[in-house]
Amino acid sequence: MADAGDILYIIMVFFALGVGILILHNVGTTMFSSVKHSPLNESTAATTAITNADKVNAKLDMVLTTVFIGMCIAIMITGWLVGGHAIFMFIYFLVIVIGVILSTILANVWESIAVVPVLSVSVAALPVTNHILLFFPYYAAVVGTIGIIVMFGKPNVQY
Over range 7-26, report the average pLDDT: 91
Q: What angle do CA 35, 38, 40 make, to 5 degrees?
A: 110
What is the domain extent for residue 147? Answer: 5-153
Amino acid identity at 78: T
47: in domain: yes
158: in domain: no
Q: Specify the number of domains making up the chain.
A: 1
The pTM is what? 0.83
Distance CA 89, CA 85 (A): 7
Model confidence pLDDT, tens digit, residues 34-80 = 777 666 666 777 677 777 777 777 788 898 999 999 999 998 888 88
119: in domain: yes
Specify whether the CB–CB gap between 129 and 62 falls below 8 A.
no
